[in-house]
Amino acid sequence: MSLWVDKHRPKDLMKLDYHKDQASRLKNLVQQSDFPHLLVYGPSGAGKKTRIMCLLRELYGSGAERLRQETMHFTTPSNKKIEIMTVSSNYHIEVNPTDVGIHDRVVIMDLVKNVAQTHQIDSSGQREFKVVILNEVDDLTKDAQHALRRTMEKYVATCRLILIANSISRVIPAIRSRCLTIRVPAPTENEIVSVLHSVCKKEGLNLPSELALRIAKASDRNLRRALLMCEACKVQKYPFTPDQKVPEPDWQQYIRETASMILTEQSPKKLGEVRQKLYELIIHGIPPDMIFSGLLCELVRNCDISMKCQIASYAAEYEHRMRLGNKPIFHLEAFVAKSMAIYKKYVEESLGDAF
Amino acid sequence: MSDFPDPDEEYELMYSDELELMKENEDKTDSNPIKQKSLPAKRSLDFSSHISKNTNHHENIESNKKDEDINLTPSLQNMEDVLAQTNVPSKRTAEDLFGDINDIDFDNLELPSKRQKTDEENDFELINKILEGRRLKQLLTEPASGGNINTKANFDVKDNISINIPKWPFMPLTNSDGDRIYIRLESEDNWNKSLEMDTEQLSLRATYSSAWEEAQKICRYSSSCGWMFVTRWPFMPLTNSDGDRIYIRLESEDNWNKSLEMDTEQLSLRATYSSAWEEAQKILEKKEQQTLKEDNTQPIIDTAENTSLWVEKYRPSSYIDLLSEEPVNRALLHWLHLWDKVVFKKEVKTKDPQQRTTFSKRAGQFQLTNKWKGKKESEPELDDDGRPHHKVALLCGPPGVGKTTLAHLLARLAGYRPVELNASDDRSTEAFRSALVSATSMRSVMDVDRRPNCLILDEIDGAPTQTVELLVKWCTTTVAEGAKRKAKTQPLRRPVIAICNDLYATSLRPLRAVALTVTVGSVSCARLASRLAVVASYERLRVETKVLSALATRAAGDIRTALHVLNFLRAKTKLTISDIENVAIGTKDTSKSIMQALQAVFTLDNTKPEAFHRIIQAAGEYDRLVDGIFENYTTARVDTRLHIASETMSSLGFYDTVQAWTMRCQNYSLYGTLPLCIARCHRLLATRTYHKLKFPMQAQEMYRKKAELDSILVSVWRGSGPHVVTNRDALKLDVLPLLPYLLTPTLRSANIQLCSESERSTVRTCAGALCDYGLRYVQQRASDGLYTYQLEPDVYKIAFMGTEERIRPQPVIRQAIAREQQLEIIRRNEEMAARVNPRKSNENIKKMEEKVANVAEKETRLPNHLQRLKPKTIEKRTPQVSKYYLYLYHKTEEFVLIC
């Protein structure tokens, strides 16, 4: 009796709701004896993990679903003890190396080697290799990525890697070329609607299609979010009405409020207030690039095209600088100040034209 | 002579007179073994001591080279000394130098005479050794001592050098232009004897060489001065390069004649002469260059007076001399006088006479002392014991403003004997305690005045915290407490003055509360400049007022630094502003606080544009500074179009980029650009008006809050079950923000039994979700005494931005969910167990559910303790109860018996 997100997760490659073409190809790939390293990438909530779990089930049978959580300990060269949580079955181990920050190289080296150097005891009727799943590969440090290169080739006989990333732009080309890259695009709104309908049908609920569409739109093409929203709707009010309120994450609303603050008044005082809001967002761990994109979407909503270009280019510039720097608040505020200045100028000009 | 005499040497020093006597008596057969043992070492000492003793024998030679009439300047100094000192030739320096020369010469000349006296023939070897050593010393080191021998001052060059053939024994020297100089030779008897011995000749040669050197020098001088003279005494004629002749007086011409007869001697002599000549030439050239540079208006400085530092010399010796602010001095002095009752048993002036004096003074002149406030203040100044309210005075201020001087002076002025305890002393608690006891409860016997002590604790901010705590405890002990403890800790009966630089040092925190804090501010530039002018006039130093004020500004209120710089620059004739500005030592190590630097960023100062960079770099912490700019820039200037804001932000962004790169690559080549970013902000933001600036706190506050929320997230993430675990970003962005909505079911009734099936399933879903994500409802006692169920970890904090309370379910629903969750946990455990051994599972589940229902009910009524004692349990344990009664019965019997 858990959440729909977890309860109605497909467990078989053939039962996936969308990207069925890709699923059948993956099935074919698994059924052949050989199986390369995979690099699965796509936006959050697109179903990467679901596909990988299906794949493992396809590979090893239902034994791959008996998961356990373990904490592993490593020692860095500087004698610092680090621990990392892993989720593993008899056939695979899943780890999120970025949890340990800059020591991720140690985790990769030790863990992958450990797994790769032990052969399966009973090789009859089983695969000869284990699978290591590495999450958030795009956030790995360069050192860790380079540590991965050679390991991937050396232990290919006993170990396969499945790398999960949101975007491959920050994965070094050497790793990209060693893997079979599989892109999992975010589901379209229609696909989300159909998934929502099927889930509600399984739960024995009647979901109006208008509400389903609204949820799909609000979910930002993120299926996980869509399912959670749908369930939240159900908890708040059932039977569904087409115009009922769809709860959404508070931070999204907060970003919208911040953007509207920028648009209502452009003054240094307001800038100070906006800063508090930005601080609040950062405190809650909202990634600064999401704040950037959220603000930009709201800011350019009511602009003419030249201003849109201007603000978008500045957003890109400051976001780039933010990635180079350490203090996101500086760059966020720089963007806010700049867009305020642009907007103010625009308003003054339009007022000037009016008179 | 060694600086650090070992025991043997000490012994020798003690008995040096005796030993000398023994030596002079040629008492070689001394039977005392100890004394004999010390003899060889003594000899080396003896030589040096003879130097001073026997100088009279050789005064002639020394004085050979001295001629004040021709402005003879010393030239055997090494280069640096020449450069530094020859600017100011004087009698003294000349004497010093000749003293040096004397020291060198003496050793060589000394031998014959000494031998004549002591006649230690079999010690030649030793003598030679010493000679060698001496020569080495002569070559390598510049003899520095000997300047104090003034006895030769009355000898004149004229006595020893002559151009005419003199009557006394002489050595003829020929100038390059054919003139002859006759130099007097001294102690001809000695010479005679010494020359007869071949072994001695070596030393003679050395002597001649030095004599020759001197003679050459003098030649140069006399020739450069264009002054020639012929003497009447025995002389050695010397010829100059430009043809002049100088006669240098020589002693013991007979010896000389004899020695000259020897061919070998002459060869060596010539060699010596040539080298000596070369040396002399070099030195003379140097000298000539120097003389060109010389300024006629040089002030004459007495080297003898330079022995004490100016800082010591001009330390204030009376109250009027103090440079610190008058209120500061008064405050401390007043406090010291408050001790009079305890220390001197005389009544402290109360407010009445004070008022009277002010009254009388008021008639005559304007006085500030009659403040109404003063009446109030004097009330708590003394406590019941008659001691001042503050037992310790804490003087604080920057270094070099005269805190220590002030404390010492005022203590003496108030009739105390200052006893100083500073950082150089051991300040462990034990040592400190003993010092405190001895200083405050004892009195010096040796002191003539029989003054009571006043303890001055210098540099107390460096003392360990325990020590300061001890002091505080010591001070705060009252008489009553002291009496109780039987004189173990006597109450403090003497004033204690503590001195520190940093008032807010952590170790001083306890002391600050009990001490009278007197802040000695840095001296104003004008006052410092006027004091410097006084010093300069005392030192006969002609310095412009402008220069002095520049120096005072540079010292930034530090008297010590200013005096040191002035002392250092004294050698120059005229002090100019550029001298002051160029001198490297004068700059105080300016450490600016972050707020000072921040203030500098926001204030426009056209007078010193270059000072800004210095302040920024002195402040150091660029990160803090940038945070400060970031938090204050919005209010700095009127900025309606936000151009300044966006420009400032872009330069701050640049700063961040560079800084991050520097840290990431550990490459500090661009580190120098960081202050430039700040300078750009200064350009954009600086105004002339004063702004109240905030200390940058936001960044740290943010960091703290973020860490708190992150820890919540991590605990949720770690607690969540293996089949739901996702990456943290997804948890943070999708799951947790929506989870509160899912955990807030709407139920018609709080009683779960009355709910419909669908409602019950909703609650079960909630419980399942809680289990999946490792969340728990925990009973917590709120501030109003009621127990409430709180979600642990508190995901609401992550999910909402300051509007957490909006979605929280009602307490009854929370209670229902909590109960359901416990059932769910047991159910899951059962499932796990069923997987291991499937047979028992079905029976157990039902049983467990019943049990859990009980447990859950109890849990829900947890605050009510009486309800826990159900009659059921009593029923079960009836035999136990009877036993218990028996036991009780037994006990009461016993009890009765005992009674």
Could you report the per-residue pLDDT of A34-67, keeping only the tens digit for each?
788 999 999 988 999 999 999 988 888 888 888 8
| pLDDT, greater one: A258 or B197 | A258
Mean pLDDT on B384-411: 82
What is the SS3 assignment for B792? strand
Query: Looking at A129-138, A319-328, B348-357, which range is the least confident one?
Result: B348-357
Share of chain B above pLDDT 90, in %: 3
Q: Are residues A261 and A346 in the same domain?
A: yes
The pLDDT mean for chain A works out to 88
- Interchain contact, A232 vs B738, CB within 8 Å: yes
Of A166, A183, A200, the position where a domain reaches its end is A183
Contacts of B742 in chain A (CB under 8 A): 3, 228, 231-232, 235
Please indicate whether the domains covering B324-518 and B525-582 agree at the CATH topology level: no
A241 lies in some domain: no
Could you report the per-residue pLDDT of B600-629, keeping only the tens digit for each?
888 887 777 777 887 888 777 888 889 999
Q: How far is A153 from chain B (nearest CA, A)?
A: 27
CATH number of A299's domain:
1.20.272.10
Strands B180-185 and B170-174: antiparallel
Any B CB within 8 A of A231 CB:
yes
| Confidence label for B76 from pLDDT (cuts 50, 70 and 90) | very low
A156 lies in some domain: yes
Q: Are residues A163 and A196 in the same domain?
A: no
A293 lies in some domain: yes
Please provide residue B687's backbone torsions phi and psi, each rounded to the nearest 5 degrees: -135, 170
- What are the structure tokens assigned to A118, written together? 């032990």
Give the per-residue pLDDT at A316. 94
- Interchain contact, B641 vs A345, CB within 8 Å: yes
Give the per-residue pLDDT at B367. 41
Q: How far apart are CA B729 and CA A224, in angstroms?
A: 12
The pLDDT mean for chain B works out to 67
- What are the structure tokens assigned to A292, written together? 């950037």
Q: How many CB pairs under 8 A join A and B?
A: 189
**Which amino acid is it at B68?**
E
Give the per-residue pLDDT at A152. 86
Please name the residue of chain A whose CA is at the shortest distance from the CA of residue B654: A321
- Interchain contact, B741 vs A290, CB within 8 Å: no
Query: Looking at A168-182, A263-277, B350-364, B578-592, which range is the least confident one?
Result: B350-364
Mean pLDDT on B511-529: 82
Query: Looking at A310-324, B168-182, B750-764, which range is the least confident one?
Result: B168-182
Q: Is the pLDDT of residue B654 over 90?
A: yes
Instruction: Indicate which of A6, A137, A238, A267 best probes the interface with B, i.e. most B CBs within 10 Å of its own CB.
Output: A6
Q: Is the pLDDT of residue A245 over 60?
A: yes
Q: Are residues A40 and A161 in the same domain?
A: yes
Contacts of B727 in chain A (CB under 8 A): 96, 135-136
Mean pLDDT on A114-143: 80
Instruction: Indicate which of A283, A319, A345, A348 best probes the interface with B, i.e. most B CBs within 10 Å of its own CB.
Output: A283
Instruction: Please state the length of chain A.
Output: 355
Instruction: Indicate which of A48, A82, A333, A336 best probes the interface with B, i.e. most B CBs within 10 Å of its own CB.
Output: A333
Residue partners of B744: CB distance under 8 A and separation at least 6:
A235, A236, B807, B808, B809, B813
Could you report the per-residue pLDDT of B734-779, keeping only the tens digit for each?
888 888 888 888 777 667 677 777 788 888 888 888 888 888 888 8
Give the per-residue pLDDT at B110. 43
Q: How far is A67 from chain B (nearest CA, A)?
A: 6
Q: How far apart are CA B342 and CA B852, in angstroms?
A: 78
**Which amino acid is it at A233?**
C
Give the per-residue pLDDT at B172. 60
Q: Exposed (0-12), middle (13-18) or buried (19+): which is A352, by Cβ within 10 Å?
A: exposed
A40 lies in some domain: yes
Instruction: Indicate which of B665, B698, B727 best probes the interface with A, i.e. most A CBs within 10 Å of its own CB.
Output: B727
Residue partners of A109: CB distance under 8 A and separation at least 6:
A147, A151
Of the ranges A278-287, B51-60, B589-598, B782-791, the best mean pLDDT one = A278-287
Count of domains observed in chain A: 3
Nearest Cβ partner of B722 from A3, A69, A237? A69
- Interchain contact, B738 vs A286, CB within 8 Å: no
Any A CB within 8 A of B437 CB:
no
Any A CB within 8 A of B748 CB:
no
- Interchain contact, B768 vs A136, CB within 8 Å: no
What ranges in B517-584 are assigned the alpha helix state H? 525-538, 545-555, 559-569, 577-582
Instruction: Indicate which of A1, A163, A269, A338 best probes the interface with B, i.e. most B CBs within 10 Å of its own CB.
Output: A1
Any B CB within 8 A of A352 CB:
no
Any B CB within 8 A of A350 CB:
no
Q: Is the pLDDT of residue A210 over 70?
A: yes
Torsion of CA B784, B785, B786, B792, to 10 degrees: 90
Q: How far is B593 from chain A (nearest CA, A)?
A: 23
Any B CB within 8 A of A10 CB:
no
Give the per-residue pLDDT at A69. 87
Nearest Cβ partner of B639 from A268, A281, A333? A268
Domain residue ranges in chain B: 7-293, 324-518, 525-582, 594-696, 703-860, 870-899
| Confidence label for A274 from pLDDT (cuts 50, 70 and 90) | very high
Q: Are residues A301 and A228 in the same domain?
A: no
Instruction: Indicate which of B629, B631, B648, B649 best probes the interface with A, i.e. most A CBs within 10 Å of its own CB.
Output: B649
CB distance B248 to B64 below 8 Å: yes
CB distance A35 to A182 below 8 Å: no
Q: How far is B858 from chain A (nearest CA, A)?
A: 25
Q: Are residues A341 and A296 in the same domain?
A: yes
Q: Are residues A39 and A100 in the same domain?
A: yes
Q: How far apart are CA A322 and CA A309, in angstroms?
A: 20
Contacts of A249 in chain B (CB under 8 A): 733-734, 737-738, 799
Mean pLDDT on A206-213: 90
Mean pLDDT on B551-557: 76
Contacts of B800 in chain A (CB under 8 A): 250
Q: Are residues A168 and A34 in the same domain?
A: yes
CATH 3.10.180.10 assigned to domain B324-518? The reply is no
Could you report the per-residue pLDDT of B454-484, keeping only the tens digit for each?
888 888 877 888 888 888 887 777 655 444 4
| pLDDT, greater one: B894 or A274 | A274
Q: How far apart are CA B674 and CA B655, in angstroms?
A: 6
Residue partners of B786: CB distance under 8 A and separation at least 6:
none
* CB count in 10 Å sphere of residue B55: 19
- Interchain contact, B660 vs A326, CB within 8 Å: yes
Give the per-residue pLDDT at A117. 79
Any B CB within 8 A of A272 CB:
yes
Q: How far is A119 from chain B (nearest CA, A)?
A: 25
Any A CB within 8 A of B698 CB:
yes
Q: Is the pLDDT of residue A353 over 60?
A: yes
Contacts of A287 in chain B (CB under 8 A): 729
Q: How far is B845 from chain A (nearest CA, A)?
A: 17
CATH number of A67's domain:
3.40.50.300
Instruction: Indicate which of A250, A291, A348 best probes the interface with B, i.e. most B CBs within 10 Å of its own CB.
Output: A250
Please provide residue B253's backbone torsions phi and psi, each rounded to the nearest 5 degrees: -65, -30
Q: Is the pLDDT of residue B565 over 50?
A: yes
Give the per-residue pLDDT at B232. 47
Please provide residue B596's backbone torsions phi and psi, each rounded to the nearest 5 degrees: -60, -45
Give the per-residue pLDDT at B115. 43
Mean pLDDT on B245-256: 52
Please name the residue of chain A whose CA is at the shortest distance from the CA of residue B704: A283
Q: How far apart are CA A13 and CA A59, in angstroms?
A: 11
Interface subset of B 592-611, CB within 8 angstroms of A: none
Give the per-residue pLDDT at B88. 42
A14 lies in some domain: yes
| pLDDT, greater one: B491 or B319 | B319
Domain, as residue range, for A205: 189-236
Instruction: Please state the length of chain B.
Output: 899
Any A CB within 8 A of B642 CB:
yes
* CB count in 10 Å sphere of residue B165: 17
Please name the residue of chain A whose CA is at the shortest distance from the CA of residue B732: A285
Could you report the per-residue pLDDT of B206-217, keeping only the tens digit for each?
556 666 666 566
Contacts of B799 in chain A (CB under 8 A): 249-250
* CB count in 10 Å sphere of residue A17: 18
Give the per-residue pLDDT at B97. 42
Mean pLDDT on A176-190: 92
A243 lies in some domain: no
Q: How far is A43 from chain B (nearest CA, A)?
A: 11
A300 lies in some domain: yes
Interface subset of A 131-170, CB within 8 angstroms of B: 135-136
- Interchain contact, B738 vs A272, CB within 8 Å: no
Could you report the per-residue pLDDT of B401-413, keeping only the tens digit for each?
888 888 888 888 8
Q: How far is B338 from chain A (nearest CA, A)?
A: 54
Q: How far is B610 from chain A (nearest CA, A)?
A: 28
Instruction: Indicate which of B729, B756, B804 best probes the interface with A, i.e. most A CBs within 10 Å of its own CB.
Output: B729
Q: Are residues A74 and A222 in the same domain?
A: no
CATH fold of B525-582 reads Helicase, Ruva Protein; domain 3 (1.10.8)
Nearest Cβ partner of A6 from B642, B724, B800? B724
Residue partners of A343: CB distance under 8 A and separation at least 6:
A262, A263, A266, A299, A307
Give the per-residue pLDDT at B57. 45
Interface subset of B 786-805, CB within 8 angstroms of A: 798-803
Q: How far apart are CA B323 and CA B527, in angstroms?
A: 7
Contacts of A333 in chain B (CB under 8 A): 630, 649
Could you report the per-residue pLDDT of B855-893, keeping only the tens digit for each?
555 444 444 444 455 555 555 555 554 455 555 555 555
- What are the structure tokens assigned to B724, written together? 């739901």
Q: Are residues A272 and A197 in the same domain?
A: no
Could you report the per-residue pLDDT of B321-344, keeping only the tens digit for each?
788 788 888 888 888 888 887 777
> What is the number of H-type helices and E-type strands within chain B?
41, 12
CB distance A155 to A131 below 8 Å: no
Q: What residues pair up with B180 in beta bridges, in sequence order?
A: B174
Please provide residue B532's backbone torsions phi and psi, each rounded to the nearest 5 degrees: -65, -35
Q: Are residues A171 and A223 in the same domain?
A: no
Q: Are residues A264 and A214 in the same domain?
A: no
Q: Are residues A317 and A216 in the same domain?
A: no
- Interchain contact, B742 vs A235, CB within 8 Å: yes
